[in-house]
Structure 1
């Protein structure tokens, strides 16, 4: 071959339409089918206007590509044809579904509270809550672990951090879980009445708590947020309420499912469970691996502002482009032996993909990891003989995934 031929730029491949995939077929076995699709396709569609990027290198670059933005709340509501009401207002205001200056204004009040230093300062409180919940678990009988522990951990910790009464967690948690059903790749219109009721009741609850702190502040996070807002008023008060609800949502349903799956994966591997008991310093790595292996969030949403070519696929401007974390975190280009659960894995990226990248990276990533780590530590210390009666499954391939029942028992002490 001539030197000239060696130096010629290769022509870009001809862009083709991404293949259309039946979502029910994908839902039946998402990990296996993402792997099959990923080998031949950088992008798929699950509807005429819903594109999915599958490969890790594309997902990582697209999170920082200025040809994609976060889907705006009004567009999310319009695309999913969500009826006007409390849920639609929440989605239009939610910082997750905003960009640029608007996003910074909504996220800004939380930045100081969720700094690395501030979250580490909460670790003793998180540990105390986790130990209290484990001590309260039944002994000698079968119970629903998702309900009795996994649901309590994030909701009671969020209540403690915000300054809400711990008793309030039992009220707001099921309503937050109802709202979580509305953050999905396909909005479940058949569940809208329940979602709408949850959104309306949570808003009323949080608004009342925050309004009371305008006139009678306390020594808590809600009071600091309200005081900071009162000095600048860069957003409407209702908008601030929605950002608090978004924090409650982000720290509740995802952590609830993620922790249940982590315990299930580890307890079904006796060698791993024993290793963690012997060396608790391995707990952070075990949690990171469970978040990769069976993520509670299936994709990160983006929106194209220009026509793009991703791999061989043409993606038009003005369409939702879902970045599949489920697929990317099983991609051999990102992880060695990606289909194996390895708690000693050393190839995790510095920033875990499950929490996103760039300006929309989850502000509570460290808090979520500490909640799960301290909860696992508390179980290993006080209930190391926990046994699984019915293992849970994670359902879905996008949005906030759902978890099935997980039944366990802890033998009575002699």
Structure 2
């Protein structure tokens, strides 16, 4: 157990971030009750209370962390992974962000994604039909990761049979997005990033030679008409979307399914009334979000709680803490599929111009996967429940095992 340092800055305690990696909800609740903000490193602060976190998501005084800053802040070694972090459009502001994001806006338009709901449901049913019954299986890899990879692949028009390969690579690269870069795993992360690069490059080359009627071909066509970014940058954008789309949703699907299986009455209620499924999904995302925090940079000196933050400081806005804040939700530690105080615009997807591009697809994946599980599998036996580890960035799920009936 790591102990807090005794140093305080204007009433702001300095916390060893490693102490927040496990049992994060309990530790953050203890800190949130006493402090609106804590310091977790040189020039780095973790904002804890909903009254501060939510406004700062779209406060112009707190700008989006940019790629080179993310690399420096997390001490990411030089390589293709750091290039991905430097280039990927969420790590940009103003015109650069708008321009790169616009390439994908049509592919991920709400109306376009909604037309794929039936395909997502059918894919979930097919995967479940091929899984063994009556024996222990790794739910995260056998279903959750495959389901997310297959859904994102379908949006781009990638081969369905490539989904398991993509899921494995994304699991490795997703480790690069967090408040503490796992330097001891850098070689594996770099290898997976390189493999994704080769895969995406080959898919683009095929469509440049023989265009198809799929979203990836349309994306390449739009890029060729206005090639304002390099081909390498385009490949990195696509890799980033794959990692963000597959990594977060597969983690959310595993954890939300486990939460519901731990509550047999909720599972039965959802089977009886599928109209409750969207609310259950929203509540699972609040109760244990796959994204622990988002980072902003103080564009000018600003005050958070009673602490004056210097310009250029990194503000890690803790969704993990804010979504369990009693000032935002009644009985925040209670999981309630009928909860009425979840916001229509769920904070887990961000806010403003940097709101998650794949929000609609993520919701559809989670809702239709859960609907398929309820319809096709009865009541799976939860043999090993996963935990989400980490307090920031993309959180990692521990193994989950179930027995399907």
Same structural fold, with TM-score higher than 0.5 when normalized by the shorter chain: yes
How much does 1:26 deviate? 2.3
Cα pair 1:329 1:338 within 8 Å, conserved? yes
Alignment equivalent of 2:157, drawn from 129, 153, 163: 163
Residue by residue, what CA displacement relative to the aligned partner does 1:217-239 show, whole Å, maximum 9, x if unpaired? 11111101000111111222211
Residue by residue, what CA displacement relative to the aligned partner does 1:288-346 show, whole Å, maximum 9, x if unpaired? 00000011110011111211110111211112110000000001121111110000001
Report what 2:43 is aligned to.
Answer: 49
Q: What is the rounded CA distance, in whole Å, between the counterparts of 1:332 and 1:160 in structure 2?
A: 40
Alignment equivalent of 1:232, drawn from 226, 229, 234: 226
Cα pair 2:24 2:389 within 8 Å, conserved? no
Is 1:369 the counterpart of 2:350 in the alignment?
A: no
Cα pair 1:53 1:324 within 8 Å, conserved? yes
How much does 1:263 deviate? 0.8
Q: What is the rounded CA distance, in whole Å, between the counterparts of 1:66 and 1:328 in structure 2?
A: 20
Report what 1:35 is aligned to.
Answer: 29
Alignment equivalent of 2:133, drawn from 126, 133, 139: 139
Deviates more, 1:21-30 or 1:104-113: 21-30
1:272 match: secondary structure: helix
How much does 1:80 deviate? 2.1
Residue by residue, what CA displacement relative to the aligned partner does 1:355-403 show, whole Å, maximum 9, x if unpaired? 0001000010110010011011001101012111111111111111111
Deviates more, 1:141-150 or 1:234-243: 234-243
1:172 match: secondary structure: helix
Residue by residue, what CA displacement relative to the aligned partner does 1:13-43 show, whole Å, maximum 9, x if unpaired? xx92521012233233211121111122111
Residue by residue, what CA displacement relative to the aligned partner does 1:257-310 show, whole Å, maximum 9, x if unpaired? 111111111111111011000000100000100000011110011111211110
Report what 2:240 is aligned to.
Answer: 246
Cα pair 1:105 1:235 within 8 Å, conserved? no
1:348 match: secondary structure: coil
Q: How does 1:11-410 map to 2 (within 5 A)?
A: 16=10, 18-410=12-404
Cα pair 2:148 2:250 within 8 Å, conserved? yes
Q: Relative to 1, partners in 2 of residues 1:166 and 1:210: Cα closer, same or farther, differing over 3 Å?
A: same
Report what 1:10 is aligned to.
Answer: none
Report what 2:6 is aligned to.
Answer: none
How much does 1:48 deviate? 2.3
Q: What is the rounded CA distance, in whole Å, between the counterparts of 2:227 and 2:330 in structure 1?
A: 49
Q: Structure 2: where are the runs of 5+ without partners? A: 1-8
Q: What is the rounded CA distance, in whole Å, between the counterparts of 1:263 and 1:203 in structure 2?
A: 32
Q: What is the rounded CA distance, in whole Å, between the counterparts of 2:400 and 2:74 in structure 1?
A: 31
Alignment length, in residue pairs?
397
Runs of 4+ in 1 over 3 A off after TM superposition: none
Cα pair 1:184 1:398 within 8 Å, conserved? yes
What's the TM-score, normalizing by structure 1?
0.94
Q: What is the rounded CA distance, in whole Å, between the counterparts of 2:315 and 2:53 in structure 1?
A: 10
Q: What is the rounded CA distance, in whole Å, between the counterparts of 1:29 and 1:314 in structure 2?
A: 29
How much does 1:46 deviate? 1.4
Q: Structure 1: where are the runs of 5+ without partners? A: 1-14
What do you get for the CA RMSD once the two structures are aligned?
1.2
Q: What is the rounded CA distance, in whole Å, between the counterparts of 2:361 and 2:372 in structure 1?
A: 16
How much does 1:202 deviate? 0.5
